[in-house]
């Protein structure tokens, strides 16, 4: 569909879904986990960060403490406020969880170049690990300017699906950490992208966001086989609901997914349960 102008978006998502399904089929046919056949096992467990959000400093700090209680050593705050509002919540969270917890913030493109730099300088004092999606991803020079101005890392990438889209961003050093979404790139292209990123010394923190349980399982398998993997996104509260289409629950422990020898993606879809969530006529 390139001739129709579709270089990314739903068309690539459809290819990505097919790619993931084929890796699962091959893995299950030969009794090997996807990570073993897609590059090898680089680690025994996948470090996760839990995503939390809100607008009230005390409530977000409370949610942060709750997630540390579940065993997460890393948290990401989704904060859709102005720079001062974001900084205020970040201060409250750092104060509550202490210096030992890894903290990140995602501002969902709500900032400008100047407010991003102002905010980043505040976050540096609080030892935040990355500032995510400060501005729209299409403004590559703007991202590069923010990344250059700050000592802390800038993280972007959930919207881009192919290495062709990302090459210019890497070359211009528009960000420090890449976060492509394996359910949008597929496992095959996801690895090609990570390899290209690695040549620019860029680690990968794969995005999962609201992705379903097959997206979670595919990202775990992919992360196990990615040399420059850093940390994976996770949504603790949504996971049980996502898992309702599986025969067995698929849960992490103490902030990590264990890398297993289960074949394919390591999960089995319960077709009957899946049917109950299908749209009529689909």
Q: Which one, 39 or 137, has the nearer CB to Mg ion?
A: 137
% helix / strand / coil in the chain, to the nearest 5?
A: 50, 15, 35
- Name the minimum Å distance from CB 184 to Mg ion: 12
Indicate the residue among 106 and 165 with the shorter CB distance to Mg ion: 106
For the bound state, the minimum distance from the C-beta of residue 186 to Mg ion, rounded and expressed in Å, comes to: 19
Please answer whether residues 39 and 224 qualify as being in contact, where contact means their C-beta atoms are separated by less than 8 angstroms.
no
Note the residues at the interface with Mg ion (CB under 5 A).
106
Closest distance of CB 132 from Mg ion, Å: 5
- 55 Cβ partners below 8 Å, 6+ apart? 79, 80, 81, 85, 89
Q: Which residues contact 91 (CB under 8 A, 6 or more apart)?
A: 57, 122, 126
In the bound complex, what is the minimum distance in angstroms from residue 218's beta carbon to Mg ion? Answer: 18
- Least separation in angstroms between residue 207's CB and Mg ion is 6
Closest chain position to Mg ion (CB): 106
Name residue 234's beta-bridge partners: 50
Helix (H, G, I), strand (E, B) or coil at 74: strand
Report the half-sphere exposure of 184 (CA within 13 A, side-chain side).
21
Q: Which is nearer to Mg ion, 64 or 205 (CB)?
A: 205
- Taking alpha carbons only, the member of 33, 39, 46 closest to residue 227 is 39
Q: Quote the least distance from Cβ 80 to Mg ion, whole Å.
A: 11
Residue (106 or 176) nearer to Mg ion, CB: 106
Cβ proximity to Mg ion, 19 vs 106, nearer residue:
106
Q: Of 106 and 221, which has the nearer Cβ to Mg ion?
A: 106
User: CB of 62: closest distance to Mg ion in angstroms?
Assistant: 22
Give the residue with the Cβ less far from Mg ion, 21 or 235. Answer: 235
Which residue bears the tokens 């089995």?
A: 268
Q: What whole-number distance in Å separates Cα of residue 117 and Cα of residue 103? A: 18
b (16+ CB within 10 A) / e for 116-144: bbebbebbeebebbbbbbbbebebeebbb
């Amino acid at each position: 569909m390139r001739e129709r102008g579709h270089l990314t978006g739903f068309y690539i998502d459809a290819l990505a879904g097919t790619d993931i399904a084929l890796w699962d089929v091959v893995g299950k046919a030969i009794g090997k986990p996807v990570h073993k056949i897609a590059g090898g096992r680089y680690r025994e467990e996948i470090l996760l960060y839990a995503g939390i959000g809100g607008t009230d400093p005390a409530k977000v700090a409370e949610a942060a403490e709750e997630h540390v209680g579940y065993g997460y050593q890393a948290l990401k705050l989704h904060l859709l406020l102005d720079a001062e509002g974001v900084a205020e919540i970040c201060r409250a969270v750092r104060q509550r969880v202490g210096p030992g917890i890894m903290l990140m913030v995602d501002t969902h493109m709500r900032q400008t170049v100047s407010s991003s730099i102002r905010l980043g300088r505040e976050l540096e004092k609080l030892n935040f690990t990355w500032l995510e999606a400060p501005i729209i991803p299409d403004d590559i020079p703007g991202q590069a300017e923010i990344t250059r101005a700050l000592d802390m890392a800038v993280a972007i990438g959930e919207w881009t699906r192919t290495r062709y889209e990302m090459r210019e961003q890497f070359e211009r050093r528009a960000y420090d950490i890449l976060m492509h979404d394996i359910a949008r790139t597929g496992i095959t292209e996801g690895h090609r992208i990570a390899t290209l990123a690695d040549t620019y010394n860029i680690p990968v923190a794969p995005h999962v966001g609201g992705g379903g349980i097959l997206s979670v399982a595919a990202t775990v398998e992919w992360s196990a086989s990615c040399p420059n993997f850093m940390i994976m996104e996770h949504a603790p509260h949504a996971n049980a609901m996502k898992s309702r289409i599986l025969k067995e629950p698929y849960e992490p422990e103490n902030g990590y997914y264990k890398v297993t020898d289960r074949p394919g993606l390591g999960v089995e879809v319960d077709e009957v349960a899946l049917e109950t969530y299908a749209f009529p006529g689909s």
